[in-house]
Amino acid sequence: IKKNDTQLFALLMEARLNRQTGDTATAATLLKDALKAVNDSSPTDELSLLADALYAAELYQEASEAYEKFIDPNIFSPMSKRLLNSYYRAGRHKDALELGKLINKSGDSDEYTTEMKSSIYEAIGDLASAEKVCISFLSNHPNAHAVKVRLATVYYRQNKTTEIDELIDTIPSDADL
């Protein structure tokens, strides 16, 4: 924060109150002002609070800018998942895919990250890559049913009805659980 630490907290609290009373436009303005008031040397806890507030307000472009100030993309964490989702929701698909690749290189890819990468490939029209991401993950995690559902969605978009039927047969029903 440029002026003092309490300024950020005051902006965040005022924005929160405005959001709770339905004045989302004023809340968004306050949060964007708060983003302008921080810099790369601002304390991580302040940046984290701001990034999370921007995320909660669905200001994903601004949230991604705030997260970028303190998240190490080489470390897989809940915050890197938020950055990944912020990129995706802000339409920054290239950045989202790059972050997803870094997460994969770290060996920490999970169902959520796999689903996100597949969704991004689907959104940009690369159904073959969307399918490949799911199949690759399932080769090491055959019981990842959420990824199976994601893969079924990709198969549906590709009109691969036989593959859908085969995949559905591998997903337990509620009665089996």
pLDDT tens figures, 61-75: 999 999 999 998 888
- Mean pLDDT across the chain, nearest whole number? 88
Kindly report the pTM of this predicted structure: 0.81
Q: Is the pLDDT of residue 1 over 50?
A: no
- Distance from the first to the final alpha carbon of the chain: 51
CA–CA separation, 81 and 77 (whole Å) = 6
CA–CA separation, 167 and 3 (whole Å) = 57
Q: Which pLDDT score, from 0 to 100, does residue 55 have?
A: 96
- Tell me the pLDDT tens digit for each residue of 87-144: 999 999 999 999 988 877 766 678 888 999 999 999 999 999 999 999 999 999 998 9
The CA-atom distances, in angstroms, between 63 and each of 6, 24, 110, 172 are 20, 16, 22, 38
